[in-house]
Structure 1
Amino acid sequence: MDRLGIDPADFVAVDGDDAAATGGREPEAVEPMPVLAVVGRPNVGKSTLVNRLLGRREAVVEDIPGVTRDRIAYDGLWNGRRFTLVDTGGWEPDASGLQAAVAAQAERAMQTADAVMLVVDASVGATTTDEAVARVLRKSDRPVLLAATKVDDDRLTSDTAALWRLGLGEPHPVSGLHGRGSGDLLDAVLEVLPESPRDRFADGTGGPRRVALVGKPNVGKSSLINKVSGEIRSVVHDVAGTTVDPVDSLVELDGEVWRFVDTAGLRKRVRQASGTEYYASLRTRAAIEAAEVAVVLVDASEPMSEQDQRVINMVEEAGRALVLAFNKWDLVDEDRRLAMKRELERDLVRVPWAERVNISALTGRAVQKVAPALRTALESWDRRIPTGQLNGWLSEVIAATPPPVRGGKQPKVLFATQAATRPPTFVLFTSGFLEAGYRRFLERRLREQFGFTGSPIRISVRVREKRGRRS
């Protein structure tokens, strides 16, 4: 029984939002972990091996070379020890164009990891590319493991002995497809990995806040990651769809460390996607769910598309804080600004509360505004209103504008409480049904009084049941 004499058991949820009222999911703190970089030629089975070592399907795998293009970080666990696996694009020493950018990503992973695993196709043997990679790794001050993949049976086990000539120590035969030898390889990984990573961010908090970068293909997500981090973290190319997997990057922005996740561009209809696009779309959805705040990039130089609205709706429905970043602002002239104003009034009617910044990831224009917008949105997402203050405000609002009459009776709002944060979720205990329009009115007034800029709000209504209906 409530202190005001209200028993929640006497009320029934009527708007389908009962689950939201039970409490928000608190994201876990991100602890620093040692990093193992997985490198090698294209299509030697790195992503298949990564999935095997993780014990789950995370990395996108297809029977064509070059599917993995960026450095992609995954959390691994073996024998009670946690570590980070970084899957990389294929390493080609004489690559050009897009492949050169992929090779640079692999080299960067080798420089920043605590240990490196070189993956060689045992069925092919050591190629000139493998030898070139081995020469680079022998000069590194990081411990190096040599994994001989595609050893699916005993016939190839003896062939792995020839890989000693790479000068990287004992080759570990393993089958990413069947799991053969994966346990022994993981034991070897734990032997060379330090207990804690070499490079730490001294942010002094419980872990970086998680930010998902989402938007349609080729809108500039990877360019923004590279601009805010001050280095090439994600592969950028003028071909749409360069990013396939979500790419985690710890970035220091405006004096604070953030975990940015650069995701694949979302296509119009996930059901029509196949192969790489299908799995990339699923991982983009998962990245939004795992994030605390999403930055939706919109191409300001073009009319807002159906894909843009779909991505924004996806973030709002997931209950995540939201920042709208209108990219390519350097291409916007006065006529485009006037057209944009009309588009935003029409297309963003569901999220007028979203934080907005106008930026250019290419030139760096106003990218420093991203961090303050993220903080504002997250502060709203975490905000809790004391029950007494909430009910005092609500009484004044209802006295000035009572709920509309329904079925000849005027419903009364008996009590309100904030049931959860992340996102802020409010429960109204009433004597009758509240129209959707009146709930939207209360949401607008809530925002006027308490802010909540950048965060969605959930309002759940519980109607008191008649005593005779209870069994």
Structure 2
Amino acid sequence: MSEYEIETVGMDTVDVGAEVGADEGPAPVVAVVGRPNVGKSTLVNRILGRREAVVEDVPGVTRDRVAYDATWSGRRFTVVDTGGWLPDSSGLAAAIAEQARLAVDLADVVMFVVDATVGATDVDEAVVEILRRAGKPVVLVANKVDDVGAEADAAMLWSLGIGEPHPVSALHGRGSGDLLDAVLEALPEEAPAETFGEVGGPRRIALLGRPNVGKSSLLNKLAGENRAVVDAVAGTTRDPVDELIELGGREWRFIDTAGIRRRHRENQGADFYATLRTQSALERAEVAVVLVDAEEPLAEQDLRIVSMVIESGRALVLAYNKWDLLDEERRHYLEREIDRQLHNARWAPRVNISAKTGRHVEKLVPGIDTALEGWGTRVPTSKLNQFFADLVNSHPHPVRGGKQPRVLFATQAGVRPPRFVLFTSGFLEEGYRRFIERRLREEFGFEGTPLDIAMKIREKRGKGRK
């Protein structure tokens, strides 16, 4: 195969030797708050090392919380930029202040930004009182300290009584490293890394679903007592709740999650953070049980949650709740909906249950086991390449522009989820890649797991070579 030169086209480059590493868990949240126009968004851009947050010399440019992934000294955290905080405001300003309050309530650490050139104002004093009541670790940021001469202004902020002011210039970067070191010190102690499939450890299951679909009811039924808040009002659960539950004679770690709302509502109120927490729970899980209300037609939120699981590479089980309430007509239409709308997840095990009565919840165990087995399946390279040799001979790729791309060699790069790299003589069309995935599943199973199929195109060097 030395006559070929490797070129990767159309898909992500894959490290063939890579395996799934440790599960890092959810990143802690750092909220950046302060009154309008003290430089919060400029500071966020400085922390990120790129221009992400909108910056303008006009108060109130940032109206909603916006979250960004950041790292410092190898530690991950989520930075939440908030609008200017005026505690006694009204109208739009009051809505912005409420966003900032939510950020404080759900953050692990608060960065309180003050304009050192102006000094502590009455508004700053009022914010400090609210921060004290919140009881969260606060890092006081004295911004706009552009030179040594201005450090005396920063020292005056000791008067706020919330600890040492950290002098920085968000605009020029002065002091930002020391500030971030202080933020890392204030963050909660990092949880030890968890490895998938840890020997003796309970397998981790995320319960996902749109609001009020019955996730907490199912968790309570499995736990045998009321552990999670259950209310007919959608969105009662805001944060993930972990429960060690014995089911089918084994112990499992269930992560109940806040319901995911429609996309246009994600940035409103605590639902913004509910989505963040749901994504974090999914990162911590090995398999996701997506609960669907069988009484109602499949909604866009249901499909999006399933897509989230597939994109995250986690194993998947579909659980249809309230199945005992369905009549024959609804069951008929549901089957059609599933076939038409969930075509991208036909490989997922399906369990029909009733979270309220507990009917058939024990069938979750074989469904989860099946999904986890598929998630960890590895095909020997020799068997995989024999499969592709037979496939290419019996169903070759269509000829396009006088050329017919072929799969020259294949390898499984990893598991959890199964990842394959195909070395090809040309670009494989999407339809043919879907055909390959379907045949892989028919041959080797992979029930309950998404498959990641990448290709590396090898262009021939020179002309006329065979």
Unaligned 5+ segments in structure 1 are: 31-53, 69-73, 75-120, 125-147, 153-174, 191-202
> Post-superposition shift, 1:149?
5.2
Q: Encode CA deviations 1:430-457: one digit per residue, 9 max, x unaligned.
A: 1111111111111111111100110011
Q: Identify if the C-alpha distance between structure 1 residues 288 and 55 changes in structure 2 by more than 3 Å, giving closer, same or farther.
A: closer
Q: Encode CA deviations 1:286-321: one digit per residue, 9 max, x unaligned.
A: 211221111110000111011101111111111111
1:169-188 residue pairs with structure 2 within 5 A?
A: none
Q: Which residue pairs with 1:18 in the alignment?
A: 13
Structure 1 contact 403–434 (Cα < 8 Å) conserved: yes
Alignment equivalent of 1:435, drawn from 415, 429, 433: 429
Alignment equivalent of 1:214, drawn from 208, 215, 218: 208
**C-alpha distance in structure 1 between counterparts of 2:339 and 2:137, whole Å:** 59
Structure 2 contact 266–275 (Cα < 8 Å) conserved: no
Matched residue pairs, number?
329
Q: Identify if the C-alpha distance between structure 1 residues 57 and 442 changes in structure 2 by more than 3 Å, giving closer, same or farther.
A: closer
**C-alpha distance in structure 2 between counterparts of 1:310 and 1:443, whole Å:** 21
TM-score w.r.t. the length of structure 1 is 0.62
**C-alpha distance in structure 2 between counterparts of 1:324 and 1:302, whole Å:** 15
Q: Which residue pairs with 1:331 in the alignment?
A: 325
> Post-superposition shift, 1:25?
2.4
Residue type at the aligned position of 2:252: W
Q: Which residue pairs with 1:259 in the alignment?
A: 253
- Whether 1:381 aligns to 2:375 is yes
Residue type at the aligned position of 2:455: V
Q: Identify if the C-alpha distance between structure 1 residues 22 and 237 changes in structure 2 by more than 3 Å, giving closer, same or farther.
A: farther
> Post-superposition shift, 1:256?
1.7
> Post-superposition shift, 1:352?
0.9
**C-alpha distance in structure 2 between counterparts of 1:246 and 1:62, whole Å:** 22
**C-alpha distance in structure 1 between counterparts of 2:226 and 2:418, whole Å:** 36
> Post-superposition shift, 1:63?
4.6
Residue type at the aligned position of 1:243: T
- Whether 1:390 aligns to 2:384 is yes
Alignment equivalent of 1:363, drawn from 345, 348, 357: 357
- Whether 1:282 aligns to 2:276 is yes
**C-alpha distance in structure 1 between counterparts of 2:240 and 2:420, whole Å:** 33
TM-score w.r.t. the length of structure 2 is 0.62
Residue type at the aligned position of 1:275: G
Alignment equivalent of 2:444, drawn from 432, 435, 450: 450
Q: Which residue pairs with 1:131 in the alignment?
A: none
Unaligned 5+ segments in structure 2 are: 26-74, 80-98, 109-129, 139-159, 166-181, 190-196
**C-alpha distance in structure 1 between counterparts of 2:403 and 2:137, whole Å:** 75
SS in 2 for 1:210: strand
1:181-200 residue pairs with structure 2 within 5 A?
A: none
**C-alpha distance in structure 2 between counterparts of 1:150 and 1:27, whole Å:** 29
Aligned alpha-carbon RMSD (Å): 3.9
Q: Which residue pairs with 2:459 in the alignment?
A: 465
Q: Encode CA deviations 1:132-175: one digit per residue, 9 max, x unaligned.
A: xxxxxxxxxxxxxxxx95899xxxxxxxxxxxxxxxxxxxxxx9
Residue type at the aligned position of 1:222: S
Q: Encode CA deviations 1:252-290: one digit per residue, 9 max, x unaligned.
A: 111222111111110111665223111111111121122
**C-alpha distance in structure 2 between counterparts of 1:250 and 1:365, whole Å:** 21
SS in 1 for 2:309: helix
Identity level (%): 54
